[in-house]
Amino acid sequence: MAILLRCHPHYTYTASVDVCWKWYGGSWFEGMATCAEEDSRLVVLDTVDKLESLRQAINSANENYYYWVGGQFVSGTWKWLDGTPVEMTSTFWGPGEPNRSPSHANALGWNTNTHGKFDDGVGNSNNRHICEKP
């Protein structure tokens, strides 16, 4: 009998939101490439449930860090990779964010070290990034 696995063996499964995910090190741009190589994408944290469930999983694993996620500042607005808008509320963004500092801070970061919410940053800086596999 075949055994079906929900996730690729190297990915973590967070059942509450049915997400397979894994972090790697590198820039936002490297994250785009790394995830694509694995037929995944930079994670889209577009619901409170997904944000909170993954934050708790990362916190439980003692892997709090500044992570790149799948959003960017395009044509004057913050968008997820699927083109939907990033909700511009304090539910998703840390205090004072996005501050576009420096002005080319066009990549969406997620600071699980501090407020557990979004913080824009410069995409070529090395942090961690999270891929999610559909």
- Check binding of 119 to Ca ion (CB under 5 A): yes
Q: At 124, phi and psi to the nearest 5?
A: -90, 5
Q: Please state, in angstroms and rounded to a whole number, the distance separating the CA atoms of residues 26 and 19.
A: 21
- Please count the CA atoms within 13 angstroms of the CA of 58 that sit on its side-chain side: 25
- Check binding of 120 to Ca ion (CB under 5 A): yes
For β-strands 19-26 and 12-14, DSSP reports them as antiparallel
- Check binding of 99 to Ca ion (CB under 5 A): yes
Q: In whole angstroms, how close is the CB of 127 to Ca ion at the nearest point?
A: 12
Q: In whole angstroms, how close is the CB of 80 to Ca ion at the nearest point?
A: 18
- The H or E element spanning position 132 is strand 127-133
Q: In whole angstroms, how close is the CB of 119 to Ca ion at the nearest point?
A: 4
Span of 2-10, 48-56, 67-75, 92-100 interacting with Ca ion by CB under 5 A: 92-100
Q: In whole angstroms, how close is the CB of 125 to Ca ion at the nearest point?
A: 12
Span of 1-9, 10-18, 80-88, 115-123 interacting with Ca ion by CB under 5 A: 115-123
Span of 11-19, 20-28, 112-120, 124-132 interacting with Ca ion by CB under 5 A: 112-120
For β-strands 41-42 and 19-26, DSSP reports them as unpaired
* Integer CA distances (angstroms), 2 to 5, 101, in order: 10, 51
| Footprint of Ca ion (CB under 5 A) | 97, 99, 119-120
